[in-house]
Amino acid sequence: MTEIVRSLLIFICLFINTIAEPSISNFQECSPKEIVISHGKCSLYVNELIFLSEEYNEDVPMEAVNNMSRACQSITSCFGGLQCLESQKNKELYQRKCDSVQLKNFDVESCLMLFYEEIYEKNSSCASKYDFTAKTFQQKREAFTSGKSCFLDFVKNNCSERAQSYMKSDYDHFLDVLTVPSENGMCTPVQNTITKIQCVPVERKVLIKMLGFSSSLDKDTDQHLTATCQEIVDCIQPCSSVESEGINKLCGNFELLDDKEFMDCADKIETIHNENKEKLSGYKCMSGLDSIKTLTKNRDCMKEVMKGECDESALKNFDRNWKILDDALSH
């Protein structure tokens, strides 16, 4: 049933963009004096950062990058110096913003993209020795710690000078950015971005598989799309919570497409319908339903026709499959 398949093969990509809350610490409310300082002095540095970020969108000159780094340092030490709640929250908030700005400015994102591609292709001798795509923060930290020289070798050979200088200047901070979640255990925005980058090669493979599937629609090849889906589920760890709904939907679609008996039966009904409409009119529920598309909107009728036309095995996952179909067709 190509119409069904087509609705399932909607281009789905991972958008990981949940904003993590700054951590809630045990600090007291800020006093009026502290608020004045924080809104006065610290805001000056914030303004500087905002000004610089707005001045340059792409190709930020190195001098401005350095000025932004300086502004970031001033911001976090200014807010961090005030031992009260609002100020500490601001410190974390701006630390995250600065981490994100710096990863872009120092070409770290593009460097990591190359690195993960290399790992995924398993083409470098040392990258395969460490679990750089580990599913927990702790394992990832271990990989980037014991595999530091392997990673830095790659950076040296494949990434821009900026990326190299970022890694050289404060590798420990880079480790924190990569592997310390926010206080509530959620991934930070930067970690979500990096996770997304890490999964690009996996996603690409899945899309190619899906395209191959939709163009051939070969009944006799075993697609194992469900197994492919597991690769995505694994890849987005430990930042999985951000995209679980989309992933579940995608994987559900794959489970359906992998149910050969069900899909073959749906196919068969479509063929019968195309070749001889009258043949299906024997089913009472089909009167008034003129197309396969409307059949896919009527659960009981679909079940009845499938029962009549196909082997029992086609119905073994009917309820699950119907739910997946219904979800896919109703958006």
Ligand X SMILES: *[C@@H]1O[C@H](CO)[C@@H](O)[C@H](O)[C@H]1NC(C)=O
Site string for ligand X, 239-278 (x = CB under 6 A): ----------------------------------------
Q: What residues contact residue 16 under an 8 Å CB cut-off, 6+ apart?
A: 192, 193, 195, 196, 236, 239, 242, 243
**How many residues in the shown chain lie near ligand X by CB under 6 A?**
11
Q: Which stretch binds ligand X (CB under 6 A): 88-96, 128-136, 151-159, 196-204?
A: 151-159
For residue 189, which of 206, 204, 177, 207 has the smallest C-alpha distance? 177
Smallest separation (angstroms) from ligand X to the CB of 51: 9
- Residue whose beta carbon is closest to ligand X: 157
Site string for ligand X, 109-148 (x = CB under 6 A): ------------x-xx------------------------
Smallest separation (angstroms) from ligand X to the CB of 165: 17
* Pick 123 or 248: Cβ nearer ligand X: 123
Smallest separation (angstroms) from ligand X to the CB of 50: 13
* Pick 20 or 127: Cβ nearer ligand X: 127
Site string for ligand X, 158-187 (x = CB under 6 A): x-----------------------------
| Binding to ligand X in span 39-78, by CB under 6 A | 61, 63-64, 67
Smallest separation (angstroms) from ligand X to the CB of 57: 14
User: CA–CA distance from 95 to each of 51, 181, 205, 219, 275 (Å)?
Assistant: 17, 13, 35, 53, 65
Instruction: Provide the token pair at 113.
Output: 């993209």
Q: Report CA 82 to chain centroid distance, whole Å.
A: 36
For residue 330, which of 101, 63, 7 has the smallest C-alpha distance? 7
Any idea what DSSP says for residue 41? I
Interaction between residue 153 and ligand X (CB under 6 A): yes
Give the amino acid at 99: D
Smallest separation (angstroms) from ligand X to the CB of 144: 15
Question: Counting every residue, how long is the chain?
Answer: 331
Q: At what angle do helices 137-146 and 148-158 cross, to 10 degrees?
A: 70
Phi, psi of 244 (to 5 degrees): -60, -35
Binder to ligand X among 154, 166, 213, 262 (CB under 6 A)? 154
Q: At what angle do helices 62-80 and 43-55 cross, to 10 degrees?
A: 160
Q: What residue ranges bind ligand X (CB under 6 A)? A: 61, 63-64, 67, 121, 123-124, 153-154, 157-158
